[in-house]
């Protein structure tokens, strides 16, 4: 289970070092095998341990190539899906197309989302959090049944 937001710098080659606290769980769970793809709703990336990604692929494999919306989702998620493996230093390479999609330069945020991570440009992340907080304060969002039942 991944949680928390971690500020990380990409190195000159486009490698991202996974924080130490996540390395052993990733090695235990998936031998350090990861899959990174784009988020189709926002300018960030989604990083999955391989077993989690395989569940996504199974769902995508059931989509019809004759239904434009389903084919588009397959094209985007599978087309950008890039396999990665943690090296001995806990790093993996983010491909240029992935970095371009999320506008990643040097300062990035690795954000735990239970079964996956989001990877954001640090400035874009800060702007997104500001917008999310403003929306929460204004209450200008749909209160779903799950949100109605949620309390801290």
Using the structure block, give the residue that is written with the tokens 């959090």. 129
Q: How many residues does the chain have?
A: 152
pLDDT in tens, the chain (152 residues): 899 999 999 999 999 999 999 999 999 999 999 999 999 999 999 999 999 999 999 999 999 999 999 999 999 999 999 999 999 999 999 999 999 999 999 999 999 999 999 999 999 999 999 999 999 999 878 888 888 888 77
Tokens representing 11 are 């190195």
Largest CA distance in the chain: 46
pLDDT for res 5: 98
CA-nearest of 118, 116, 47 to 81 is 47
Q: What is the rounded distance in angstroms from the CA atom of residue 29 to the CA atom of residue 43?
A: 27
Tokens representing 4 are 């928390």
Calculate the CA 122 to chain-centre distance: 14
* Predicted model pTM: 0.94
Tokens representing 71 are 């084919």
Full 3-state SS string of 129-150: HHHHHHHHHHCCCCCCHHHHCC
Using the structure block, give the residue that is written with the tokens 């989702």. 73
Distances (CA, A) of 36 to 12, 26, 66, 139: 19, 14, 26, 33
């Amino acid at each position: 289970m991944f949680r928390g937001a971690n500020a990380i710098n990409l190195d000159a080659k486009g490698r991202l070092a996974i924080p130490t606290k996540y390395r052993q769980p990733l090695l235990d769970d998936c031998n350090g095998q990861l899959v990174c793809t784009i988020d189709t709703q926002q300018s960030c990336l989604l990083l999955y341990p391989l077993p989690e990604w395989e569940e996504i692929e199974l769902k995508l494999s059931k989509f019809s190539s004759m239904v434009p919306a389903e084919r588009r989702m397959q094209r985007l998620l599978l087309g950008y899906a890039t396999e990665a493996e943690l090296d001995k230093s806990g790093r993996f390479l983010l491909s240029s197309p992935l970095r371009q999609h999320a506008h990643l330069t040097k300062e990035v945020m690795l954000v735990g989302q239970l079964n996956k991570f989001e990877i954001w440009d640090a400035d874009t992340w800060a702007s997104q959090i500001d917008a999310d907080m403003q929306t929460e304060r204004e209450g200008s969002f749909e209160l779903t049944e799950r949100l109605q039942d949620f309390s801290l």
